[in-house]
Chains A and B, each alone.
Chain A
């Protein structure tokens, strides 16, 4: 069993955790549209480095916390059609906006006015989704819906093997990136 906080202490920790996340996003430079867009143009690999490192370090820690009964998993359902369609839209929107939702919010804090305008667009998109939710739920989210599936259960390959494989891939990728002549 995890030991979630409750009441006021949970709400204070929400601001604190958000603060650290926003701080790290800015330090990582992913609050910069140029960095985000150039990742998708394969010119700047900052986003990939940040995400892969976070997944590896975070994943190993959460795996052991879970094994020790100190954390619960929160697996989003594999509604394959909804996830795939949503990801297509998300990729288009992310390049046009120039931020992901989290880095866009953080970028507002660094003085980006177009990040603020895009956040208003995000509100608009959220309202559109809420208005179309009944139809989406009935016609898209239930297609190829496999439930909250994890790769280890799906494949029979244990967690630590996944992480080891991911670490090897990341290491090869990072070494190749850092040895590349800089433009």
Chain B
């Protein structure tokens, strides 16, 4: 009988180690797309409804008249529409999943940010606000986001959506390299950097 433990081979992923969650969730989103195309006739998307509803937030600054006469909000008026209620559902679904999996927790500075820019909450909030503003302006200029273009548009093989996705991926990778450095080779083996 061999009692000694065999030397561990080089660490290689085995079949049982594959995390199927991203594939299953992706398949779920794909099947959800069938339903929204056939039943709601309104593909998965976020920013069209979000921008329309932002007109409400602009009322204190521009006045009802200012919003009413704006040509963008005249085209997509702020209303309690399908798209707006969809956004409410997104937040509720995430709450439900977070509670069901006991992963609801308050977060002010995510780990990847803290490791690079330190624990300052103000700095994180300021960049999150600016990032959100730039992202939404870009989404409206391109007429879609990661949902409306990169999922719904790509699955319809739309030229605009594939262009959006490729340019967005390149721009994001360049930004990540500038902001966070090239993580592919940095800190390898540091357990704190394990992304999960």
Contact = CB atoms under 8 A, between A and B. Distances in A.
Interface string A74-104: 1111111011111111111111111011111
Interface string A117-133: 11111111111111101
A111 B32 contact: no
Interface of A: 2-5, 10-11, 13-29, 31-35, 37-38, 40-44, 46, 49-59, 61-62, 65-66, 70-80, 82-98, 100-115, 117-131, 133-134, 136-137, 140, 146, 148-152, 154, 159, 162, 174, 178-183
Contacts of B84: 14
Interface of B: 10-13, 17-18, 21-44, 46-47, 50-51, 54-55, 57-58, 61, 70-73, 80, 82-98, 101, 103-113, 124-125, 127-177, 179-180, 182-184, 188-189, 193-196
B191 to A, nearest CB: 9
Residues of B contacting A: mostly: helix
Contacts of B73: 130
Contact of B146 (A38, A102, A123, A127): A102
A138 B127 CA distance: 31
Contact of A76 (B134, B144, B169): B144
A78 B183 contact: no
Most buried by B among A16, A35, A180: A16
Most B CB atoms within 10 A — which of A27, A46, A151?
Answer: A27
